[in-house]
Amino acid sequence: MSQRLVNWFKFASPASFYPLAGKMWPWFAAIGTVLAAAGLWISFFVAPTDFQQGEGYRIIFIHVPASWMSMFIYCVMAFWAAIGITFNTRLSGMMSSALAPTGALFAFLSLWTGALWGKPMWGAWWVWDARLTSELILFFLYIGYIALTAAIDDPRRADKAGAIISLVGVVNVPIIYFSVKWWNTLHQGASVSLTKAPSMAATMLWGMLIMALAFWMYSIAIALYRVRAIILERERHTTWVAELPEMQR
């Protein structure tokens, strides 16, 4: 047990995580590309045309996985924040800040595709649907995290402040979600829900799951890539960075 703990903490040091991340990210990128190709093929050519919504519904193959990932990534950020606060590891803060832009990107993508889907569905670019509204607030939380960490010059301090705001945010996300949901039912009654399409065919579900997996692999790959850049930037004065083969040129 203790042996395993030691091994884990070995990779908590940026110097040993940097080469590991370098080995891992191309694999995740490759798996992500394959899955995305498969997912897009299913969503465009295999999934049947919806008899109510026509071809326009196909945007949910992007929209729904993007929403899932945006929420999931926020939870992962909060997880790293908790690790960082408990064990005071430098890598956790770097992981959080590497994940934030990807999370914000997915939240934005989810809002954008939601609007594109809403126009043919409801005849309006934006409706105050509970899910869309929560997604918007989640996007604000991401922006707040990024703005706060960007405004603090000392990276260690920025990491710690970011950890606190992401933990506060993750406690608030369910509260915000349920309050918005309640507000929504109070004001306009049951609305069309994006995920409860009238007849969810099995192929549609498969398409969405595969796309979600593809997004997941993409997120891991890009986060690892970004964390490598962050490690290099922060540790540029150390000897191990100076001894890296890519620094010898």
- Residues in contact with other proteins by CB under 8 A are 85, 137, 140-141, 143-144, 147-148, 151-154, 157, 160-161, 164-165, 167-169, 171-172, 175-176, 179-180, 182-183, 186, 237
Closest separation between CB of residue 84 and other proteins, Å? 12
CB of 184 to other proteins, least distance (A): 10
Nearer to other proteins, 22 or 144 (CB): 144
Residues 6+ apart with CB under 8 A from 169: 74, 78, 141, 144, 145
Residue positions counted in the chain: 249
Report the C-alpha gap between 92 and 71 in whole angstroms: 19
Identity of the residue, 136 or 208, whose beta carbon is nearer to other proteins in the bound complex: 136
Whose CA is closest to 223, among 37, 10, 44, 69?
A: 69
For residue 54, the minimal CB distance to other proteins (Å) is 35
Q: Which of 10/157 has CB closer to other proteins?
A: 157
Upper half-sphere CA count for residue 73 (Cβ side, 13 Å): 34
Q: Half-sphere exposure of residue 12, counting CA atoms within 13 Å on the CB side?
A: 15
Residue 233 neighbours by CB under 8 Å, 6+ apart: none
The residue (of 172 and 193) whose beta carbon lies closer to other proteins is: 172
| Minimum distance of other proteins from residue 126's CB (angstroms) | 17
Q: DSSP letter for 54, please.
A: B
Q: How far is the CB of 49 from other proteins (least distance, A)?
A: 38
CA angle at 188 for the pair 143 and 201, rounded to the nearest 5°: 80
Q: Which is nearer to other proteins, 115 or 161 (CB)?
A: 161
